[in-house]
Every structure is written in C-alpha cells, then in structure tokens.
Amino acid sequence: MHKKRLPKGARLVTGISVSASGKYVIAGDAAEKVSAHVFEIKGKVAPIATFVISAKITHICCSPFDDDKFATCGKGHMNICDVKTKKTQKGAFGK
C-alpha cells in the first residue's frame, strides 16, 4: 500500500482512477482551483503533475492504451490530459 498526499489547500477527492499498467493514480480535487493530481504509484507522496480543470470533476478515466493520458468530466465539460506533455484539451458539450 502506498500513501499519497494532496497538495495544501485541497478539499476532497471527487474522482479517482488508476492507469492501465498501474503506473499512475489520478485524483480529482474540489479545491478553489479544481484540479486533477497525478501520482506515481511507486513514487513519492507528492503529485508529479497537476492539471487545473476549473470545473467540478465527477469522473476520471485513464486510457486503456496509453498510461500518460486520462480524461476528466463533469456537468457540461470533458478534458483530456497528457501527463508526458503536460497539456490539456478542454471541451464543452451540451447545455
């Protein structure tokens, strides 16, 4: 079992996902700046990357094909994040 710690100011985890190979665990945070924090399962306690999502995360899903990609979604939005490039593709849908 590995212990991980959300950064200072975090409120609560709203979603969590583990990458297909078990390399990463991603946790959604409901702080003022809603974020997805990426942790290496066999790494340190602190996250290796943080993606600011700016909308409530209700679900996180890791790609079954690429450990470095995951998606977050919530009411009216979906984001695809890439751990390797540290980039986010933001999208909105519905009304």
The series of mean pLDDT values per 10 residues for the chain, 95 residues long, is 82 93 95 93 94 92 96 92 94 62
pLDDT for 54 equals 84
- Cβ atoms of 30 and 39 within 8 Å: the answer is no
Look at residue 23 and tell me if it is in a domain: yes
Look at residue 33 and tell me if it is in a domain: yes
d(CA 68, CA 87): 11
- In terms of residue numbers, what domain contains 29? 13-87
Look at residue 3 and tell me if it is in a domain: no
CA 40 to chain CA mean position, Å: 12
Provide the whole-model pTM: 0.90
Look at residue 2 and tell me if it is in a domain: no
Look at residue 42 and tell me if it is in a domain: yes
pLDDT for 72 equals 96
Read off the amino acid at residue 64. P
- Domain total for the chain? 1
Look at residue 92 and tell me if it is in a domain: no
pLDDT for 92 equals 63
